[in-house]
Structure 1
Amino acid sequence: MDGVDCPRHPASTLLVGREADLELVRSFLDDSVVRGAALLLTGEAGVGKSALLDAVADSAEGRGVRVLRAAGVQFEADISYAGLNQLLLPLFGSFQDLDPLHRDALSVAVGIGEGPPPDRLLTSTAVLLLLRAAARSRLLLVVDDLPWLDRATTAVLGFVARRLVGSNVGLLTASRSGADSFFESGGLTEYRLRPLDEQSSAALLSQVHPGVSPAVRRRIVAEARGNPLALVELPEALTDRQRVSLTAVPAVLPLTQRLRAVFASRVAALPAAARELLLLAALEATGDLATVEAAATGRATLADLGPAERDRLVSLSPDARSLSFRHPLIGAAVVHHASLAECRRAHRALAEVLRDKPERRAWHLGEAAAGPDEDVAALLEEAARHRSRRGDALGAVTALTRAAGLSPAAADKSRRLAEAAYIGADAGGELEDASRLLAGARLADAAGRESLHAAAASAFLLINKDGDIETAHRLLVGAIEEGDHGWEAGNDALIEALHTLLLLCWYGGEPRLWHPLLRALDRLRPEPPELLWVCARTFGDPARTGPAALPRLERLLASVGTDPTRVVRAGTASVYPDRLPDTRAASWRLVEQGRSGSAPVRRHLGALMHLALDHFHLGRWDEAARLAAEGVALCETHDYGFYAWYFQYVQAIVSAVRGDTASSTALTQRIIRWSAPRGAHGARFFACHARALAALGGGDFETAYRYGAELSAPGTLAPYVPHALWGALDLVEAAVRTGRDAEAAAHVAAMRASAMGALSPRLRLLVRAAEALVTPGRPGADLFALALAEDRPERWPFDHARVRLLQGERLRRLRATSEARAELSAALEVFEGLGATPWAARAAAELRAGGQNGAAAAKPGRVALTAQEREVATLAARGLTNKQIAERLLLSHRTVGTHLYQIYPKLGITSRAALRDALDANDTT
């Protein structure tokens, strides 16, 4: 039968994605068994018609419906009434209920009576009478594979189908689309069962073959094109290694015996010339008929495709310029039917006519080669470089792997496998594959020196498993400094190794890790590539070296192009100068390509990272959270455990600014637990920033100060910790709130002395706001106003609203009431729009303290104080000093001051003297 009713797989698995189809057929037949009707189910071979019929039949029987079944069988197609015998077998005992004329005719037809062949009309009428009699309760006929039913049976079924109205009998039949059949379906309802969508295809394949690697799974999903039988069967034809390694999978997937029975038998019946053209088309893969015809010169012409067209194996475009297989597995069946010699001859013919297409020509030459061939290996290596630049990481890995297989010299084989391993680890998303390729490279030339690509691949594999940054860094630095590369800036392997080293340095978060990279950059001749140079200066220590790189960054962003690697690296250079909006369109394009499977996984992840940060700064926090969740899921799917922390950081800061401190804390704890044993101090600094931000919003300034100081010690912007720029204002505010005025002033001085303000308008806003915080009185308020004068506040709404809040607090304390209200109201409006709940509460409390009533100030109602805040407020209301309260509660006097600073605006008061009344009023609200 056509379907996927394979005994080794449960029916529930094989019906993945068919819920809507099953419900539609059930609902139709629920009506049909009342009023009598027939439904013809059609679809391509293997699309799952049999599985759907089984499910409907089981469901009907479960509801008390009697089900009679039959299925066409090829070797019985010439036996008259063989199908009717199969269908009516359970009713043979009921023949006695018919009148003698119809009983005898039907008995002879199904082979249990003797006599001359009965009249067709008489037999058909007898069947209809028998079914109506048997359907005193409900009856459902299920007939599969109509094309293989004998002609006599199909005639009877057609007669019966058009006479079921008013009976309790329903008829459900299935037929392959386009197949010839004697069944007359005119006037019957037809339902076409379509292929599964991509999501359902992936789910089915994952359930039936969970051990298949993600890359191989995507390849099978693409080849199966929604056909459940192909999804179930194709992995069965692969070896264990092929199931987990995309590079080991042949260009044309092999077929199982079951798939060959469905697809290959039709190919075998074609004339030799037609098979020749189909073989060329299957191997050429683009469908270009001009190429196919040229390669077949002297052996076949396009006119020879007629039989394949008539048998619906292929379709030609209206202008006869392109050919497509009705199903991709037909192409696989064509290749399977050809001998190895025929396939090689076809590849050579295609290579000959593709001289102006070097990549495709190299591939065909590689497939035609019968043994080692350095010339072809070199062509494939060059083709791999072109593919890599276009973002086709897996195509590049495949070409390099094939080139390695054709390499006569062990050193060349090792070098090519190592490069394939590096591309696979850096971009392809298949770490297990990369690990096997790297092992193969070392085996191929065990006595040789490890290449730069091998070292870079090893570094990636180390950090994504249980290795640490220090070991990966040492391994890569050793390969770079000991390599025989002449420090040529045009050496691709060296430049890729330096880009990898740059990331390792950043992950490590320690200045000493950067020294070897900076030395290497100075030694490059004639000069470092611009993208590498800019990344090193804007991503390493931007507070000191960033502004000098901005003109070059501007040029890079103007010509970022579509190369996935270049897009992501330009985004990396743009993070701290706040230029991610300039890469937004290219990053979105890369994400969409990644979602469709046409972009390298690592580049997909890089684009997601940058877009998530960009959307956070834009105030689009829901989108930032969605992008981060997508990144986490992608890391889990592809075993890129090392990069998950970056997305968890985005989730943590979104939770922090929204006031979900518990979620933010849980996420940062996860980051710290993961990063500590691996020496990924850069990740720990990100966690510190999120924790400080969460504490600030909640008014826990002591905790905010502790984490801010861990990110960057007061009085200095930590060198080679670029995230110190983003936490600088947090540290200054926490220091001011906890009475650490000297530390706050020292940090502001460090911010002013650095190049931080020259990097971007947002960072200049933060520098001026920090300076205003440590400048008392009206001069400080004027500095806040200067900070807020920066244009386009909509680019960083949260940062602008924070500064407005600080300005409003200052103005209120200066008794500039109307000015304070304007700033606080503006801040409150933005915070509420963003969903920044704790910050909105701070702004509303300040407005209440300033005497504003109405919606803008928010009705106070009962204010929730923490247990410790309640104790501090109660003791202060009794007249105890901060020092006395601190001694009693075993706190520092600074912590007591911080609590009171938060309690006053919460209760809507401005002095200690008002505490008692405010507490009493709050208790009775």
Structure 2
Amino acid sequence: MGLIGRDDELASLRAHLGRPGALLVVGEAGVGKTALLDEFAREEASKGRRVLRAGGAHFEAEVAYSTLNQLLSPLGEPDRLELRVALGFEIGPAPQRLVVVNALLGRLRALGPILLVVDDLQWADRASAEVLGFLARRLAGTGVSLLGSCRPGFDLYGGVHELELRALAPAAARTLVHRRFPDLAPAVRRRLLAEAAGNPLALLELPTALDGDQRRDFTTLPPVLPLPERLRPVFAAQVRALPDRCRRAMLLVALGGTTKPVEDDLAPAEAAGLVRIDATRARLRHPLIAAAVVEASAPCERRRAHAALAEAYRDVPERRARHLAESVTGADEETARELESAAHASLRRGDAIGAVAALTRAAELSTDPVRRGHRLAEAASIGADAGGEPAVASKLLGDARRTGCPDSLPAAVAAAHLLVNAGGDIPTAHRLLAATIGARDDATDPDLIEALHSLLLVSWWAGTDQAWQTFFTLLGRLNPAPPEELRLVAAIFSDPARACREDVAALDALIAGVRDGEDPTRLIRLGTAAVFADRLPALGGPERHLVQTGREGRGPARRHLGALMHLGLDGFLAGRWDEAWTLAEEGLALCAEHGLRFYPWYFQYVRALIAAGRGDTAAARKFTDELLRWAVARHAAGITHFAVHARALAELGAGDFESAYRHAARLSPPGRLLPHRPTALWSALDLVEAALHTGRTREAAAHAEALRDTGAAELSPRLRMLTTAAQAMTAADTTARELFEAAVSTPDAERWPFELGRIHYAYGVRLRRLRDTPAAREHLTVAHDLFTALDARTWRDRAAHELRATGRPQSLPATTPYPLTPQEREIAELAGAGLTNKQIGQKLFLSHRTVSDHLYKVFPKLGITSRAALRDALTHLDRALPAA
């Protein structure tokens, strides 16, 4: 397995090979210089190039020519006396450096192409370094290449090129840690990545110092990750050599920095290369220095340092509270309250993991068992929901219950989310939440409002009238009235088709105020309402920002998932299908990483939609079958509505209109749009189209009328376009044209290319039936172009077939892909020349059944029904679309 994240650096080494001069790889300790040299040396050796290796060493720095001796030892004793003396094979007067260089160069040149690799040049003895410096400037045309590595500040006496080796990029660092330490919990891995800052040595060594609990539970991690045993002699020794005053100042930096470094105190550490000081703060030069500083301190010193930092950050409440919590011993309710407040602030800015850790520590400091239980329960609730850490949340919930905390709303929220994620049925989770909420009615109680938000979500998954009725009954009890956001999300999310204008306008006002960095929980809740009110594009920027913070390990996992879901749906509607598919794959990977077993359904639904749109019917059926089985097992009727919607679309694309009708009618019967089924609104046009294709004209008309009567057209331009199109499809010939024109002329209709293509296609088919061939051809061509751009294959082929039926296949645009594969073309030509299937098979080494299957596909592509028409059809096709 090659190096992770070093492709560009290896390419730079390859590019330099053969150029005059030497190349030095320069970088801090542990950044991966040795690994890079090793990989490149192996690569060159595998190509047949001879490679000689050496490395500088502290203990040999005073032995003249020791590094050179190590480098040349594989070659045996040299012939030249100067080299023999320099390398210790003979005793004699010390040769001049230039004489040694010339002797060395002559010997190396005689060996043919050769690569010299010298690691840690900053520790090479002075004599070897001087010789290598002279050599580096004399390599042109010799076939000898010199590659070295060193720390910043080392000078190989000029004349060399440098390649700065930086820390690993975040994605590469994540990959390295995941491969080497797959057992780390996601939040622990995030913490490691943050502290290691891309340094490979830190990434690979810090996890080895963690015990089993620390690997699984981020709440057990100390403020600074411990120093691994193997590295203590190296790093701890550097710290212990510092004066006490300097070590105490370093401890302040290691435990969280200070805005007022005392430069005089830190001067010895700066001189030793352990710390950098700028105008505002001190920074450690290496991630492992912090661990070494903490390792070298006593517990009382650490507590004093945290107390000093708490005072320094008096105006930064979150940081003050965290340092204060580390400075006390035993229970301290006042500090616990400050830490609890800090946890809530962390959650608002998207740090769910930090909030859980703060609440857990606040529980440890609590003097009241009830408060301790409540804080643990709240930590469990955040971990189970926003944090996406079910294992830690389950442990915290167990701890909360052992305190005897009675009827805690946060505990019920945590238990419901854990039950759902563990595969329990949705109605049980719904009953648990509803029973705990019970008769509570204080709209100013944040725990109650959070519980109702969770109940809203579980009601959606349950998808039954009874579940929704229970939710709205509990919501209606609130006194005073429920918060505006909860009320709006409940009204629009549950039944968008019947949302009133005032509510939609209020939602628009809230969305207009959202910016990047918005509280992730609030953003996703507004986004959920925006999905069904067709307002997703307005939140695209903030949700993309949330996804990016999640990718960087700075955002809550569950909110990251919510943003991926919303952006995936928006990508499907907007025709960005490749992007939507990629987002769905990311969501599935995130679910697997965090052990979130319930949420993959979101992304299966997006994949099913895309497969249906592209005409990959087998994949769409597979996705929806899996989704239906999964939802039925959990009594999640709300999720079956999504599966049925995608399946109806897939069957429409496949041309199985009877099956499409059955699935669309299962979602909502013709002539009715059932409440609390948002996808019934999205699938209304599918039902109308399937009904018309199966001769159910009255059902189609009734459904188009029901869609119009809901007022959904007032929600958004897209829904107005779909509502008008449904009316057009079911209208009499005398009024259909006007309605179709209104549908395709909807403002910004091109924002929804797939649905617009379907409407143009239906319009073109109606016009051809009315014998308005030029107009039909125009709309069918638009549909064909839209479907081609989307790679909506079955829909494109259907449009192409209708265009051929207009008698003008040459009207297809020049960019239209050639409809026949090379083998189909060859078979069609032979069949058109009069050969039988058996004769064609013998000629092409195919079975006659295979030939028959190919012709079965060719006939509809050419718009013909018999072999007799093949020759003319191929001639016609060649004129319209020159063979590629």
TM-score normalised by L of structure 1? 0.83
Q: Is the 8 A contact 1:842 1:905 kept in 2?
A: no
Q: 1:747 and 1:919, CA in 2 relative to 1: closer, same or farther beyond 3 A?
A: farther
Once the two structures are superposed, residues 693-722 of structure 1 have per-residue CA deviations (whole angstroms, 9 ceiling, x without a partner) of 122233321111111111112232122111
Q: 1:312 and 1:499, CA in 2 relative to 1: closer, same or farther beyond 3 A?
A: same
> How many Å separate the matches in 1 of 2:73 and 2:779?
87
- Structure 1, unaligned stretches of length 5 or more? 1-11, 293-300, 865-902, 909-914
Supply the RMSD in Å over aligned alpha carbons: 3.2
Once the two structures are superposed, residues 729-775 of structure 1 have per-residue CA deviations (whole angstroms, 9 ceiling, x without a partner) of 21122122212234334433433443433333322333333333333
SS of equivalent residue, structure 1 residue 427:
coil
> How many Å separate the matches in 2 of 1:40 and 1:69?
14
Q: How does 1:152-167 map to 2 (within 5 A)?
A: 152-158=127-133, 161=136
Q: 1:157 and 1:664, CA in 2 relative to 1: closer, same or farther beyond 3 A?
A: same
> How many Å separate the matches in 1 of 2:804 and 2:321?
75
> How many Å separate the matches in 2 of 1:761 and 1:166?
71
Q: Is the 8 A contact 2:819 2:861 kept in 1?
A: no
Letter in 2 for 1:837: R
**2:726 alignment partner in structure 1:** 770
Pick one of 569, 574, 599 that aligns with 1:643.
Answer: 599
> How many Å separate the matches in 2 of 1:281 and 1:478?
50
Pick one of 471, 476, 480 that aligns with 1:522.
Answer: 476
Identity %: 50
> How many Å separate the matches in 1 of 2:29 and 2:519?
40
1:691 is displaced (CA, Å) by 1.7
Once the two structures are superposed, residues 11-47 of structure 1 have per-residue CA deviations (whole angstroms, 9 ceiling, x without a partner) of x46x323344345445645x38xx8x54433321112
> How many Å separate the matches in 2 of 1:67 and 1:772?
77
SS of equivalent residue, structure 1 residue 45:
coil
Pick one of 347, 351, 361 that aligns with 1:392.
Answer: 351
1:418 is displaced (CA, Å) by 1.6
Answer yes or no: is 1:669 the counterpart of 2:625: yes
> How many Å separate the matches in 1 of 2:419 and 2:203?
34
1:822 is displaced (CA, Å) by 4.3
**1:659 alignment partner in structure 2:** 615
> How many Å separate the matches in 2 of 1:248 and 1:203?
24
Q: 1:121 and 1:576, CA in 2 relative to 1: closer, same or farther beyond 3 A?
A: same
**1:194 alignment partner in structure 2:** 166
**2:275 alignment partner in structure 1:** 314
The count of aligned residue pairs is: 833
Q: 1:80 and 1:511, CA in 2 relative to 1: closer, same or farther beyond 3 A?
A: same
> How many Å separate the matches in 1 of 2:32 and 2:676?
59
SS of equivalent residue, structure 2 residue 255:
helix
> How many Å separate the matches in 1 of 2:56 and 2:745?
81
**1:335 alignment partner in structure 2:** 294
1:242 is displaced (CA, Å) by 1.3
**1:250 alignment partner in structure 2:** 222
Q: How does 1:357-396 map to 2 (within 5 A)?
A: 357-396=316-355
Q: Is the 8 A contact 1:315 1:325 kept in 2?
A: yes
Pick one of 415, 429, 432 that aligns with 2:388.
Answer: 429
**1:474 alignment partner in structure 2:** 431
Answer yes or no: is 1:683 the counterpart of 2:639: yes
Once the two structures are superposed, residues 520-567 of structure 1 have per-residue CA deviations (whole angstroms, 9 ceiling, x without a partner) of 110111011111111111111223345452232122222234111111
Q: Is the 8 A contact 2:97 2:130 kept in 1?
A: no
> How many Å separate the matches in 2 of 1:150 and 1:193?
23
Q: 1:146 and 1:906, CA in 2 relative to 1: closer, same or farther beyond 3 A?
A: closer
Answer yes or no: is 1:305 the counterpart of 2:263: no
Q: Is the 8 A contact 1:68 1:141 kept in 2?
A: yes
Answer yes or no: is 1:464 the counterpart of 2:452: no
Letter in 1 for 2:61: A
> How many Å separate the matches in 2 of 1:334 and 1:751?
69
Answer yes or no: is 1:214 the counterpart of 2:175: no
**1:297 alignment partner in structure 2:** none
> How many Å separate the matches in 1 of 2:649 and 2:43?
57
> How many Å separate the matches in 2 of 1:756 and 1:60?
67
1:494 is displaced (CA, Å) by 1.3
> How many Å separate the matches in 1 of 2:559 and 2:308?
37
Answer yes or no: is 1:266 the counterpart of 2:238: yes
**2:504 alignment partner in structure 1:** 550
SS of equivalent residue, structure 2 residue 441:
coil
> How many Å separate the matches in 2 of 1:359 and 1:211?
31
1:374 is displaced (CA, Å) by 0.9
Once the two structures are superposed, residues 662-710 of structure 1 have per-residue CA deviations (whole angstroms, 9 ceiling, x without a partner) of 2222222222232221122222221211121122233321111111111
> How many Å separate the matches in 1 of 2:736 and 2:178?
62
Moved more, 225-234 or 128-137: 128-137
- Structure 2, unaligned stretches of length 5 or more? 822-857, 874-884
Once the two structures are superposed, residues 413-439 of structure 1 have per-residue CA deviations (whole angstroms, 9 ceiling, x without a partner) of 221122112112211232222222222
Letter in 2 for 1:54: D
Answer yes or no: is 1:451 the counterpart of 2:408: yes
1:236 is displaced (CA, Å) by 0.6
1:863 is displaced (CA, Å) by 10
Letter in 2 for 1:240: G
1:224 is displaced (CA, Å) by 1.7
Q: 1:57 and 1:726, CA in 2 relative to 1: closer, same or farther beyond 3 A?
A: closer
> How many Å separate the matches in 2 of 1:23 and 1:685?
51
**1:144 alignment partner in structure 2:** 119
**2:259 alignment partner in structure 1:** 288
> How many Å separate the matches in 2 of 1:421 and 1:596?
24
Answer yes or no: is 1:129 the counterpart of 2:103: yes
SS of equivalent residue, structure 1 residue 428:
coil
1:334 is displaced (CA, Å) by 2.3
**2:149 alignment partner in structure 1:** 174
SS of equivalent residue, structure 1 residue 854:
helix
Once the two structures are superposed, residues 328-378 of structure 1 have per-residue CA deviations (whole angstroms, 9 ceiling, x without a partner) of 332332222222111111111222233222211111110101111111011
> How many Å separate the matches in 2 of 1:491 and 1:642?
29
Answer yes or no: is 1:51 the counterpart of 2:35: yes
Moved more, 822-831 or 58-67: 58-67
**1:559 alignment partner in structure 2:** 513
> How many Å separate the matches in 2 of 1:524 and 1:53?
68
Q: Is the 8 A contact 2:423 2:597 kept in 1?
A: no
Q: 1:148 and 1:790, CA in 2 relative to 1: closer, same or farther beyond 3 A?
A: closer
> How many Å separate the matches in 1 of 2:704 and 2:72?
92
> How many Å separate the matches in 2 of 1:686 and 1:382?
40
Pick one of 797, 801, 820 that aligns with 1:841.
Answer: 797
Letter in 1 for 2:425: D
1:155 is displaced (CA, Å) by 4.4
Answer yes or no: is 1:354 the counterpart of 2:334: no
SS of equivalent residue, structure 1 residue 611:
helix
Once the two structures are superposed, residues 485-525 of structure 1 have per-residue CA deviations (whole angstroms, 9 ceiling, x without a partner) of x4211212111111111111111221111122111110111
Letter in 2 for 1:247: T
SS of equivalent residue, structure 2 residue 412:
helix
> How many Å separate the matches in 2 of 1:850 and 1:713?
35
> How many Å separate the matches in 2 of 1:68 and 1:832?
58
1:804 is displaced (CA, Å) by 3.2
Once the two structures are superposed, residues 625-682 of structure 1 have per-residue CA deviations (whole angstroms, 9 ceiling, x without a partner) of 3322322222222222322222222222222222222222222222223222112222
Q: Is the 8 A contact 1:442 1:450 kept in 2?
A: no
> How many Å separate the matches in 2 of 1:646 and 1:396?
26
Pick one of 508, 511, 528 that aligns with 1:572.
Answer: 528
Letter in 2 for 1:489: A
**2:750 alignment partner in structure 1:** 794
SS of equivalent residue, structure 1 residue 419:
helix
Moved more, 648-657 or 496-505: 648-657
Pick one of 459, 468, 471 that aligns with 1:505.
Answer: 459
SS of equivalent residue, structure 2 residue 354:
helix
Letter in 1 for 2:26: T
Q: 1:130 and 1:853, CA in 2 relative to 1: closer, same or farther beyond 3 A?
A: closer
Q: Is the 8 A contact 2:568 2:579 kept in 1?
A: yes
SS of equivalent residue, structure 2 residue 225:
coil
Q: Is the 8 A contact 1:401 1:420 kept in 2?
A: yes
> How many Å separate the matches in 1 of 2:371 and 2:358?
14
Q: 1:739 and 1:63, CA in 2 relative to 1: closer, same or farther beyond 3 A?
A: closer
Q: How does 1:668-747 map to 2 (within 5 A)?
A: 668-747=624-703
> How many Å separate the matches in 2 of 1:515 and 1:324?
58
